[in-house]
Structure 1
Amino acid sequence: MANNLENIDMPADKKAYIISKLNPVLEEMVTRIVTELPEDLPGYADELRKLWYWSMQNQLAKLRAEIRTSIGDDGTGLDSDAESEAEDDEDYVDDLPANFLMPENQKGKTRASVSAEAYGAWNVKQAFTAPILSKSFMFASVEEREMAVVVDAMAEVKLEAGVRVIKQGDDGDFLFVIEEGTLDCIKEIDGEEKVVKTCESGDVFGELSLLYNCPRAAHVQSKDACVLWKLDRETFNHIVKDAAAKKRERYETFLQKVPLLAAMGAYERSQIADALKPQSFADADAVIMTQGEPGDVFYILEEGSAYAEKNGARVMEYSPGSYFGELALIKNEPRAATVKAGGSGAKLLALDRRSFKRLLGSVEELLRKQADEYQ
């Protein structure tokens, strides 16, 4: 746009305004809209307005803190009326936290034009982060529009092998999502450090300090070169924690009605609720799993209907609360039947093999007996 402005008869101050003020706003707006394709464009624009407002408030807060530091902690050099007015402004919008900023590598830069090249770094961040977040139960219930804000607030962290990114007992203000690499969770037990868990791509760690405002429960150290994404406490509390709590409450209520899990305690059900991932099959007769193929997922039907076919014959009907897919996980055998969505489609809650083994151990014997009866 800067090159085009040179040929337009316009005062220099207006050209400077377009380059320094308007271009950055248009760049981010166009990038977000083209990426997300929102249906409610006016509503989406209003949401961006709130985001930018909080971004400016955050920058003002940082400047205010720097001024206090430079003139002393008593803040005598700061005009009290101006400070009061700024604090009043902070109440203007209360549904987005104050640190929803542009990516770190974009801050403080004035762009000369709005172009596809200028969007590159932002798009790369979106492309690489979103799939990783979708694999993590902590983010599974975050709305698409809110997810864009979460991604915007995350910062990339690259580690070499042997780096201790979290220390047991420290206060924590960030959680981390693993994009690449593996890390060991290490606890000090009887004076010795012991590896209690290994985290890999898609796993989240460091969330306990943010959830319960407690010190770090363990050391976390990289086993090899890693790429992480860290998220601050304010964004987590405002968006992720709230969404995760709503998801857990909804799933826990549903799981109480699943006969298989009726005898479980509330804590066990809450762990299962956290690990469940929703899957939808909108079309009638859509294939959910296929007879003879290997299986690594256990399903619970949340809404709609489904049916099983064995060698072409329908052998089972499923309604909400029913489950299937356990045979392949219990016996390490191929899928015993093909399962398809019913006429109204099917909404499922899926549990992967690792979570199935870890969380359903108390009902595995019951599942084995039912599996023998089924066969």
Structure 2
Amino acid sequence: MKAAVLYEPNTELVIENISIRKPVGREVLVKTVYAGLCHSDLHFIEGLYPHPVPLVPGHEAAGVVEAVGPDVTYVKPGDHVITCLAVFCGTCETCLSGKPAICSNPEVRPEMGSSTELSWEKKPHLNKFLNLSSFAEQMLVHENALAKIRKDMPLDRAALIGCGVLTGFGAVVNTAQLQPGESVAVIGCGGVGMAAVNGAWISGAGQIIAIDTNPDKRQLASKLGATVVIDPSDGDIVAQVLELAPDGVHHAIECLGLKSTAEQAFRMTARGGGATIVGMVPYGLNIEVDGLSLLYERRLQGSFMGGGSFRTDMPRLIELYLQNRLKLDEWISERISLEEINRGFAAMKAGTGMRSVIEFR
């Protein structure tokens, strides 16, 4: 099968022919139909997060089950599925405490390194990415890395739910636990931030402030529920937010992964409010906050893959889309082939468009 391979950080991906073995145990072989290009992939491609190479990146995808291992009970060939990197075991303390997204059981979530699933004639060994490696025509994954979905859901939109939508929407609903009428500011309106804006609107937020430098993204955020948009080039975003919400916002959702914007998110929150950091802050970088502010019960917290349970959250998000409440049609700016993947990431780095998705034929 064809796959995009990263040989070294800060180099272009190379399309190679590789092999994938048959499923065993609880493994599922999935034909990749669509895979989204996510900013998290770019962080690894640029070396901001370490990972053994060569590897096949990609983690936001939807497809069709082709074959299953003998111990699989959840899906069967022909089922439509969304993949998720938050594979869970269902038996550890975090899973049983209602937090399967942060399951750390090595039996289902092995350490990064050489895999037995992917192979080629070259050396060194080929590495799998986040248990998925979706920039390939097929994926071999644990059955607990899949959510089975209804077949009338378009798979290109379903792929977006695999990371960006689940992460942004869940950060608002599950992690921040926004209540109807509360105010929220979203910093960075890429895919994750746009899902946070739309999620806040669906959840009945009062004031929804969308912050982004790109005028097209600010315009789209307004269509998806933002009541006010802010351009950071007009001045300090904290000051601009406090002009709109003098006591601060109940929730600030940071979707860029920058030290500066993470600290700004905390500073714009009200007493008793919270800043939820969704963006991937570069490895080893510390975030500083005013310790006195913590006395007033202001919170600084992270959110991983929406902070919920993707097996239940993903089908619910699909229902919201089919009811025309969750807006996904506006997300996809371009459908590209696997061979055009480097052009897709170049567009992402340039800040053009919303989401490119790879269409496998």
Fold in common (TM above 0.5): no
**Which of 1 and 2 has greater Rg?**
1
Q: Bigger relative contact order, structure 1 or 2, given CA contacts below 8 A and separation 6+?
A: 2
Give the structure with the larger helix fraction: 1
